[in-house]
A and B are shown apart, each in its own frame.
Chain A
Amino acid sequence: MNLSNRTKVLEQEEMTLSERIYLPAILGGMATTLKHFFQKPATIRYPEQTRYLGPVYRGMHILKRDESGAERCTACGLCAVACPAEAISMVAEERKKGEETLYREEKYAKVYEINMLRCIFCGLCEEACPKQAIYLRHDKMAPVFEDRNEVIFGKDKLVEKMDQRYLRDGWK
């Protein structure tokens, strides 16, 4: 039977003389490893050295402020709806008089929490956000936590600091 006409009968061939002596192949292999011995390593010393992961890497969340420093988030809840892991929760609040410099729209998130154990860093919140308020930053990863009390990140950890504004590569 020959179904595909691509059948190839493999046969273990008798070893040639140089193969039976072993030494030529051994020396050839040793030359290969010696070549690699002097090559630059492909790996890095990770926590000290990091690689650039590209402008679209999905790392730590950030709640952006606008150019004048007001929070962009209006607590519409679309991110929470989009979140497949149900990691986001928020409490909305109406903006009072005199808070115009703090919040851009009339409504803002009084509480904005992300459960970092639930988050799967899919980036759907970023896609869902109509106000371009939440981003997964490309340059910083979510920190390691050692206690369950540290797991839920509030606004204190999420909102962009004015002195360290986040700019994704490729943005003007």
Chain B
Amino acid sequence: MEITSTLFAAKAIYIGLIFAITLGVAAYSTYGERIVAAWMQDRVGPDRAGPFGIFQPLADAVKMFMKEDFIPANSSKWLFIAWPCLSMLTALLTSAVVPFGDKLDLGGGIEMDLQGIDVNIGILWVFGIVSLGVYGILVGGWASNNKYSLLGAIRAASQNISYELAMGLSIIAILMMTGSLSTKVIVETQQNGAGFLSWNIWSQPIGFVIFIVCAFAECNRTPFDLPECETELIGGYHTEYSSMKLGFYLFSEYINMFVSGAVMATLYFGGYDYPFNEVVEAQFGQNIAALVGVGALMGKALFFVFVFMWVRWTLPRFRYDQLMNLGWTGLIPISMFNVVWTGLSILIPTTFNLPAWASIVVSWSGIGVLLIGLIIYHGATSKKKTVALAH
């Protein structure tokens, strides 16, 4: 595509908009988090700042800025200041490859993808940036020159690295089906006609469960919010942080939530695809259809943000050994199984000339096979209950 000045300007506006939307959504997720928490606990929630408390994020930000910005004397000052910013940066960078919508017709034969940049390694980009995000926490904790911060940072790092493996393996199954790393292509393969029935979730149920669990761990959200712990670590990796530097860390968590929601929607729920988009396109034109698609993706991403909060206010956290156990002996073997079974679900219909739905049947039968395997494994590993005497 030739880059014209119109396209350049439109792209610049688009990127600015995406930044604004991501930041705005993240800001309002803090409000949403509190409202969701309140409603789930039969409370009212924040309602003091403005009508229904909608200026609460503003009040929080003002509070954060007004706090004393303290830098410990023996900390590594440069790193201490730089790494919250890096944390924020990596959180924002991921949204560059998420396709927020279909092509927009700018007139004069110029079409613009509603996507920051369509690199052919889109998903790898996401993974690269996400694993960079670990450094935001790790170095931030190290630079504080505080044992507890360091412990929290190490926890965060080992947790993120452990769950990245299972996450990567669950992505491999998607890549086997689409044959491309480009997020755009992944969405387009999910768009072929059958409405939401062609979304990847139908052929990748196990993969999706693994991915969402890993996304929880990557965002350091409950039940995997081990890096923050008041009883064991005083505060976690951000014990020494205050004012807006702490705010950046907390804020990047919310950005991560939104972006991982968007990535999940892209990979498993058809991205900007929505039912009857052909009808909308024929009726109202390409631009309206694309904008509705943006709305669809936003809706899906926000739903996942809600799920993140929903889970947070439902579950207690795992113990650290349970977390590691689940990651290494639970999710990684299952995601390996998922890769193998996805291979089967691709191979069987092509070998035996079966229709396309056969691959979905095979995929879902994978859950059955997995359950049978788990039952056998459980029978083999669970110890017989010993009868304890009452003396």
Contact = CB atoms under 8 A, between A and B. Distances in A.
Given A14-B385, A26-B314, A9 B390 contact: yes
B67 interface: no
B44 A30 contact: no
A33 B40 contact: yes
Nearest to A39: B42
Given A9-B388, A14-B385, A41 B378 contact: no
Contact of A44 (B44, B209, B374): B44
Nearest to A1: B391
A53 interface: no
Contacts of A42: 42-43
B315 A26 contact: yes
B314 A45 contact: no
Interface string B306-338: 000011011100000000001000000000000
Interface in A16-34: 17, 20-23, 26, 29-30, 32-34
A13 interface: yes
Contacts of A22: 326
B47 A33 contact: no
Interface in B340-391: 374-375, 378, 382-383, 385, 388-390
Contact of A36 (B40, B375, B388, B389): B40
B378 A11 contact: no
Query: Most chain-B Cβ atoms within 10 A of its Cβ — which of A15, A22, A33?
Result: A33
Q: Contact size class for B?
A: 20 to 34
Nearest to A25: B315
Contacts of A2: 390
A37 B42 CA distance: 7
Contacts of A39: 42
A37 B378 contact: no
Nearest to A26: B315
B370 to A, nearest CB: 10
A7 interface: yes
A32 B311 CA distance: 11
A101 interface: no
B8 interface: no
B378 A20 contact: yes
B192 interface: no
A14 B39 contact: no
5 contacts: A9-B390, A21-B374, A23-B209, A30-B310, A36-B42
Given A13-B385, A32-B314, A33-B40, 13 more contacts: A7-B390, A17-B378, A20-B378, A23-B209, A26-B314, A30-B310, A30-B311, A37-B310, A38-B39, A41-B38, A41-B39, A42-B43, A43-B44
Which 10 A/B pairs are nearest by Cβ-Cβ distance?
Answer: A42-B42, A17-B378, A29-B314, A33-B314, A33-B40, A14-B382, A37-B39, A41-B44, A43-B43, A9-B390
